[in-house]
Amino acid sequence: MALERPLANGNGSVVRPSKADKDEAENIFLFIPNLIGYSRVVLAVASLYYMPLHPRTCSLLYSVSCLLDALDGLAARKFEQSTKFGAVLDMVTDRCTTSCLLVFLASAFPRWSLIFQGLISLDLASHYMHMYATLSMGEVGQSHKNVDESRSWVLKQYYSNNKVLFTFCALNELFFIALYLLSFSSPYLSPTLLKDPQSPSTLSPGTPAAPKPSLLFTSPWSAGAMELARANKMDSRVPWILAIVSFPIMAGKQYINVVQLVKASKWLAEGDREERRKKGLPRKKNKKKAH
């Protein structure tokens, strides 16, 4: 095996290649878009910490985390640092933060918890199925945002225009943030478990006196104690306006999730049929007729 020898200059002196001449591996994890992605995760975790009892702080941190979703894409294009790791980090962060918020809404509005659980499942299933179909059925290196119009006109319009994509994602999150704020402010959606102690008692004669909240909710982190602590912490006017304005876009986003799930499922089924055809499946067995 030949050994690599150092080069010599005209005077016979040995010239060793400098470190600058060697190709240095890029640290993908320290790309600017990915650093923005990490900050999104930190802000999201901080918002979850404040979520149970501090609606304004939580909403601010959560909103900034969502808005940075657009900034990392701009940075990736500006600095030519678009990476597969960054794309997956972005999608995973989106799915996790939205799921965490919906989990809180399911506990804040137990009457509609099944709806929130369904939205979590639809969001995760739709994006996972779409990503898997793109990786297994699409061309090598194809992004999940590159959708053929012949496969789905709706998804093509959704993913091809960054402004449309940002608007749908932002207003979808805004609707859930508005619901979150309403859990602190609207007696129509989140009635308090106990009435104001100063109000006249509605107990009928002969019944025991109403127990104190501390006797009903011995743990400050129980569901009842948390609802009591959330009650009437802020005015509900602005959250109601935000919820009404953003509701149509949120509904449209859920429709897109359904379309994405269905189209990805059909795309995978096409691949399965083609693979089975190449393998000669199902095998035809010649049945001998009984004489």
Active site residues: 94
Token pair for residue 236? 């509900």
Alpha-helical (H) ranges within 51-152 are: 55-78, 84-108, 113-137
CA distance 83 to 97: 21
Quick count: other Cβ atoms within 10 Å of Cβ 138?
Answer: 15
CA distance 67 to 47: 14
Backbone angles phi, psi at 8, to 5 degrees: -125, 145
CA distance 195 to 165: 44
Helix H or strand E segment including 8: strand 7-8
Side-chain half-sphere of 228: how many Cα atoms within 13 Å? 18
